Amino acid sequence: MKPSDGEAERLSGSPTITYVQGSQKSERLADLGYTILRNKQDVSRFQIVVEIAKHQPAIRQREIAELLGVTPQSISGYMQDLLAEKHIVAAGRGRYELTREGVEWLLANAEQLEGYARHIRQNIIHQVTIWTALAAENLRQGDSVGVYMKDGLLYAGKNEQSAMGVVISDARAKNDVGVTRLSGIITHSEGAIRVCKIPRVQRGGSRNIKYDVLRTVVEAGDIVGAVGIEASVALGNIDRVPDLYYGSQEGVIEAALHGLSSVIVLTDDTFTDFLKRAEDARLTYEIFDLVVS
């Protein structure tokens, strides 16, 4: 008995994949026989053969069904097909083994899947993945460009870099430009975070801070964030407007991940929570306790 569409979907682990033939190469790949992804029954048969191969020398139909998360009845029809095609043989006591023909069928389909995956990685993903960067100079469509990080932003320029790509359209210097076919590794180092702890208002707030230390720390930061009114007032007292106020904890972490040196001024009740966030992001931080003893 053949399984219903619902059972077949459970066997395959995913709905039917529609293969769109958009080029000569795609048509050629389809002609090679990528029916295993277009036919639920073939996907299920493939999974059954894989389990039999994995559990040689013999495995029962009930055990195969348990491994695939379905009932023995739902794969009965597939087992009969595989027996008729001599991909498997009954080894006695309800057990099954893979034949030489079954091994060849399994390898052929595995190679097709591998080729299809390689086609997706090499020919499709590269085409649809476009990185946005700032043009370091005037660029023309088709230019080969080096891609690199600078001041927390991604740049594309004509000088060779460890990561290279191709410009998708003309762009003037300092404008946004699309880069595709990116290869290599973008050289990048994360920035450190300087964490300035200050007291809440009931413990003195902005009136109980080591301003000489705060001024020195803030001057070394590319991005400065403030958490709480006490922090905003403290920065104002040294004539520094914070770059970030709302969402500053997330913003400072993002800035550090993009290579910027960041400073965050926060009250002691939010201090521990921020350190956990920084540790979760695996960022380096330095603590400055600015509370006057």
Identify the band that residue 1 occupies on the pLDDT scale cut at 50, 70 and 90: very low
Mean pLDDT of the 106-120 span? 79
pLDDT at 21: 33
Tokens read off for 262: 């960041």
Which domains are present in the chain?
5-127 (1.10.10.10), 129-184 (no CATH), 193-289 (3.40.1010.10)
74-90 CB burial, b ≥16 within 10 A, e <16: bbeebbebbeeeebbbe
pLDDT at 93: 75
| pTM score, whole prediction | 0.53
Q: Residue 284 — φ and ψ, nearest 5°?
A: -85, 135
pLDDT in tens, 64-78: 888 888 888 888 888
Identify the band that residue 232 occupies on the pLDDT scale cut at 50, 70 and 90: very high
Q: Provide the phi-psi class of 92: left if phi over 0, else alpha when psi is between -120 and 50, else beta.
A: left
> Which amino acid, 164?
M
pLDDT in tens, 186-226: 887 889 999 999 999 999 999 999 999 999 999 999 999 99
**CA torsion angle 89 91 97 101 (round to 10):** -30
The closest alpha carbon to 7, from 60, 54, 77, 61, belongs to: 77
Given a cut of 60, is residue 44 above it in pLDDT?
A: yes
The winner for highest mean pLDDT among 94-108, 236-250, 269-283 is 236-250
